[in-house]
Amino acid sequence: MKKEQVVNCQFSVWYPIFKKHTIKSLILPLPQNVIDYLLDDGTLVVSGSDHNTQQTQTNNNDSDAEEDIQVSEVAPEFPEFTSKVLEAINSLGGRIFPKLNWSAPRDANWIALNSSLQCDSLSDIFLLFKSSDFITHDLTQPLPSFIFLFSSQILYTPPHLMDFFTPVIICPQLVLRKWSELIPGGEFRCFVKENKLIAICQRDYTQYYQHVFKQEEQTCQAIQEFFSQHIQYNFLDEDFVFDIYRDSQGRVWLIDLNPFGEVTDSLLFSWEELTSGEVANQQEGPAFRHTTSEVTVQPSPCLSYRIPRDFLELSTGEDAYKLIDFLKLKKKTEEKKV
């Protein structure tokens, strides 16, 4: 996969090409001070609201005397940017779905009051963005395998690649998409290799949708027609992945485009079979995969973002040192019992 493929999948690159076939959206450049605020690792204080914390200290000389210290943190304000965002939100009907150049804060919907990515203010957007690992990745390592420039600063430069790649300038952008109630069972991911649609997969593969099972043939045909009429040979690359939504009327809408490679979730396929030609050679049309029964239902991958990362790394063994410390602690506990 080339760096150009990732760059071409930025929303601002593909949206003008397929504007007629996707959800109405507006794009705003992210000022550097907003980026700094989003990347600030301090206490989560949403712009436009006050966050007060109380800290109690006990006087050692007098156990009955306690002193309450009020610590007030006020989020920075961005008047000009706020005005532009609110104007854009109003022009899109008052409710929007936010994202950056590539990613949406899908891993942070748990923190919203309605557990939804629907936003109607800048503070809603900030709350989701500051709670999302996906957004942080977009802001810090959108091209992890290449040299790139971000906001006039080199953030990541692998030494062994220094002589092989020229810098890529990434301009961070806030994308506001008109809010639409999309049923997860209507979303599908499509894989294109050499401008040929080789595979289609149920986007929400963790759930079983009876209508997907019953309408497999109609869905596959509708997606193929949409691809041949509106997508094929119109994108900048010949290898790519695109997400679509098929509504209750049978109309197909383009939702997103992604690079054809391991940076994109292959869902019920493997990248080995997609890149080797194994899938493309099995049948004439695209391979179609979906969850076939309730027995195979799985928890959402985004659920792991709702627990502390230390717990996740410990349970999966991702951090070997934490696992070793845990085993030592368990051994000591058992020895004490004996």
Check if the beta carbon of residue 105 is closer than 8 Å to that of residue 128.
Answer: yes
Query: Tokens representing 196?
Result: 């040929």
Dump pLDDT digits (tens) for 252-263. Answer: 999 999 999 999
Interatomic CA distance for residues 173 and 84, integer angstroms: 13
Q: Is the pLDDT of residue 99 over 80?
A: yes
Dump pLDDT digits (tens) for 43-84. Answer: 455 654 433 333 334 444 444 444 443 434 566 789 999 999
Alpha-helix runs per DSSP H in the chain:
3-8, 11-14, 32-39, 79-91, 122-130, 133-140, 210-214, 216-226, 271-276, 309-316, 320-337
Given 146, 178, 210, the domain boundary residue is 178
Interatomic CA distance for residues 264 and 193, integer angstroms: 14
Tell me what pLDDT residue 113 has.
Answer: 72
pLDDT band at 3 (very low <50, low <70, confident <90, very high): confident
Q: Which residue has the higher pLDDT, 221 or 293?
A: 221
- Check whether residue 189 and residue 312 sit in a common domain: no
Does 53 map to a domain?
A: no
Dump pLDDT digits (tens) for 27-47. Answer: 999 999 999 999 987 645 565
Percent of the chain having pLDDT more than 90?
56
- Check whether residue 199 and residue 317 sit in a common domain: no
- Check whether residue 199 and residue 309 sit in a common domain: no
Q: Is 18 exposed, middle or buried (0-12, 13-18, 19+ CB in 10 A)?
A: middle
Does 63 map to a domain?
A: no
Tell me what pLDDT residue 153 has.
Answer: 43
Interatomic CA distance for residues 215 and 290, integer angstroms: 11
Does 256 map to a domain?
A: yes
Q: Residue 323 is part of which domain span? A: 301-331
Check if the beta carbon of residue 269 is closer than 8 Å to that of residue 191.
Answer: yes
Dump pLDDT digits (tens) for 157-170. Answer: 455 444 445 566 78
Q: Is the pLDDT of residue 327 over 80?
A: no
Does 47 map to a domain?
A: no
- Check whether residue 257 and residue 321 sit in a common domain: no
- Check whether residue 229 and residue 212 sit in a common domain: yes
Dump pLDDT digits (tens) for 219-247. Answer: 999 999 999 999 999 999 999 999 999 99
**Mean of pLDDT over the chain:** 80
- Check whether residue 121 and residue 243 sit in a common domain: no
- Check whether residue 191 and residue 95 sit in a common domain: no
Flag the least confident range among 12-21, 85-94, 310-319.
Answer: 310-319
Given 121, 147, 178, the domain boundary residue is 178
Q: Is the pLDDT of residue 2 over 70?
A: yes
Tell me what pLDDT residue 305 has.
Answer: 46
Tell me what pLDDT residue 279 has.
Answer: 82
Does 288 map to a domain?
A: yes
pLDDT band at 182 (very low <50, low <70, confident <90, very high): very high
- Check whether residue 192 and residue 130 sit in a common domain: no
Q: Indicate the number of domains in the chain.
A: 3
